[in-house]
Amino acid sequence: MELFEDCTVGKINLKNRIIRSATHDGLADSANEGPTDELIRKYVYLAKNNVGCIIQGYAIVSEDGRSNYPRCLGFFNPDAADCYKRLTKEVHDAGAKIVAQLAHCGRQTSSKTIGIKKIAPTAKRHLLYPDKAREMTKEDIARVENDFINSIVRAKEYGFDGAQLHLAHGYLLHDFISENGNKRKDEYGGSLQNRMRIVKEIIEGARAKAGNFPIWVKLSATDKRKKGMNIDYSVKVAKLLEEYGVDAIEVSCGSVQDGMNTMRSKRFPMDAIFAYREPLASLPRVLNRIVLAMAKLFNPLIPQPKPLEMYNFPAAVALKQAVNTDLILVGGITSLSQMQEALNAGISAVSMCRPFICEPNFAKKLKDGTSSKSSCIMCNCCGLVIEKEPVHCLMGKVKYPLKK
C-alpha cells in the first residue's frame, strides 16, 4: 500500500491514506453548536492541502453528554443543520472526505456544565472531574442509544461521508466497554458481550435507519486503568466490532484520567497547565507562579508513558492479525517513513492530530517532497489551550500575562 494512492478505507473512497484525526477545535457556534465560518475555513484549508479525510472534532449527541471544553460541537440541535451541510459541501468541493465523530462525555464532564447530574455506566468518581456520576438506568441507556442512532442518521443527511463512534479516551462508550468503568450487574455489564451491548445496539439501530452508511469507531486499545483496556482484551473487542459490521477501527489509547497518554510528550506542559487549567489558572498571580515554579522542579521526576512515537502501532498490528476490518493508526506519527512502516504492516491509513495543529499544510508538504517530518515538538500545550480557547499551536511557549 502506498500513502499517495486512490484507496477505499472503511467503505469511503479517499485520494490518499492521510487522515486528520478528530480534534476539538473549539470553534462551534455558541448558539446552535454547529460549525462556524472559521471552522469551515479551517477544514477547507486542510482539504485543499491534501488531507484525504478529516475526522471532525467530537460532536456531542445528547445534551447531558456535553463537554467542559468551550465551543464544542453538538449534533442534537436541528438548527445547526444548514451549517453542517455547508461544511461538508465546502470540504468536498476542496477535495477531501469528512467523517463526523460522535461522542457522549459520560463522566468526563461536570454536572455544573450540563446543568443536571452527569451519567455513567457505573456511579464512579473521575480524577479530573470529581463530582460523582449517577448510574444510568435502562431508560437512560435506551435514550442515549437513540441519540447516537439519530446523530448517525443526521450525519448522513448533512452530507458527511461517514460517522465515527468515540469509544476511546474515557468517554461514555469507552467506560461501557471497559471493566474499569462498567461494574453493572444487568445485561449491559458483567461479560464482554454485555459490556459491548450498547455499541451493538447503536450499530444495529443505525443500520436499520441509515443503511450502509459507513460507521467507523475510535478505540482506546490500551489504557492505564486497573482492569481497563489491554491488547488481548481489545483483540476480542475488535472481533465483536467486525461481527457488528463496523467499517474501520482507528487505534488509539488512553483515558483522560491517564494523564498525557493519548497524546504523549516527554513532560507535562506545566506552563500551559497553570495558565489554562482550573482551578490553577484562577489562583492569584503570585501564588500561581510560586506553585508553578515548584511543579516545574518536580516535573522531570514524573514518569511519562513511552514510547513517544508510533505508540499504538503494536496494538494496531495485533488487531490486524485478528480482524479484516480496515485499521487506522493514530498517535505519535511524525514522519513519512513511519507512515510507510504502518502501511507496510497492513494498516489502511494513518491519522494525525498535533502535526496538523502545528502545520495545517503538512500533508501537502509530504506530497510535494518539501518535508518528510512534522515540525511539531509534541509539547502538548495545544491540549491545554482548548480548556479556554480555540485550539492553536504554542510551540512550547506560554506567553504571560494571559488574558483572563
Ligand X SMILES: Cc1cc2nc3c(=O)[nH]c(=O)nc-3n(C[C@H](O)[C@H](O)[C@H](O)COP(=O)(O)O)c2cc1C
Contact footprint for ligand X (CB under 6 A): 21-24, 57-58, 101, 166, 168-169, 218, 252, 262-263, 330-333, 352-355, 382-383, 386, 391
Q: CA-based diameter of the chain, in Å? A: 59
Q: Is 171 a catalytic residue?
A: yes
Ramachandran class of 25: left when φ > 0, alpha when ψ lies in -120 to 50, beta otherwise: alpha
**Catalytic pick among 43, 171, 188, 311:** 171
Enclosing H/E stretch for 220: strand 215-222
Looking at the DSSP bridge assignments, the partners of residue 352 are 20
Pick one of 199, 379, 386, 398: the residue that binds ligand SF4 (CB under 6 A). 379
d(CA 363, CA 377): 17
Contact 177, 167 (CB under 8 A): yes
Nearer of residues 19 and 83 to ligand SF4, judged by Cβ: 19
Which uninterrupted H or E stretch holds 55?
strand 53-60
Taking contact as CB under 6 A, which single stretch among the options 42-50, 121-129, 217-225, 389-397 is the one that binds ligand SF4? 389-397
Shortest Å, Cβ 391 to ligand SF4: 8
Shortest spacing between CB 211 and ligand X, in angstroms? 25
Q: CB-wise, 190 or 396, nearer to ligand SF4?
A: 396
Q: How far is the CB of 55 from ligand SF4 (least distance, A)?
A: 17
Least CB distance to ligand X at residue 290 (A): 28
* Distant-in-sequence, close-in-space partners of 285: CB < 8 Å, separation ≥ 6: 401
In the range 307-366, which residues lie near ligand SF4 by CB under 6 A? 354, 357-358
174 is a site residue for ligand SF4 (CB under 6 A) = no
Beta carbon nearer to ligand SF4, 157 or 359: 359
Q: HSE (CB half, 13 Å, CA atoms) of 233? A: 19
Among 165, 319, 393, 398, binds ligand SF4 (CB under 6 A): 393
Sign of the torsion angle spanned by Cα atoms 285, 286, 287, 289: positive
Instruction: Give the whole-angstrom CA distance, residue 69 versus residue 319.
Output: 32
CA–CA separation, 101 vs 322, rounded Å?
Answer: 25
Three-state SS for 167?
Answer: strand
Please, what is the minimum distance in Å from the beta carbon of residue 382 to ligand X?
5
Residue 374 CA to residue 354 CA, distance in Å, equals 9
Interaction pattern, residues 193-222, with ligand SF4; x per rule: CB under 6 A: ------------------------------
Grouping H, G, I as helix, E, B as strand and the rest as coil, residue 190 is coil
The answer to the question of residue 380 lying near ligand SF4 (CB under 6 A) is yes
Q: For residue 109, is it left (φ>0), alpha (ψ between -120 and 50) or beta?
A: beta
Q: Which is nearer to ligand SF4, 60 or 394 (CB)?
A: 394
Q: Which of 198, 357 has the CB closer to ligand SF4?
A: 357
Q: Pick the stretch among 159-167, 240-248, 308-316, 388-396 that binds ligand SF4 (CB under 6 A).
A: 388-396
Instruction: Pick between residue 28 and residue 391 the one whose CB is nearest to ligand X.
Output: 391
- Does position 381 interact with ligand SF4 (CB under 6 A)? The reply is yes
Total number of residues that touch ligand SF4 (CB under 6 A): 14
Which one, of 286, 275, 276, 340, lies nearest residue 313 by Cα? 340
Least Å from the CB of residue 59 to ligand X: 9
Q: Under a CB-based contact definition with an 8 Å cutoff, are residues 98 and 87 in contact?
A: yes
Among ligand SF4, ligand X, none, what binds residue 393 when CB lies within 5 to 8 Å by partner kind? ligand SF4
CA 301 to chain centre: 28
> What does the alpha-carbon distance between residue 158 and residue 92 come to, in Å, rounded to a whole number?
12
Q: Nearest distance from residue 21's CB to ligand SF4, in Å? A: 13
| 376 near ligand SF4, rule: CB under 6 A | yes
Q: Give contact residues for ligand SF4 (rule: CB under 6 A).
A: 354, 357-358, 376-382, 393-396
Catalytic residues: 171
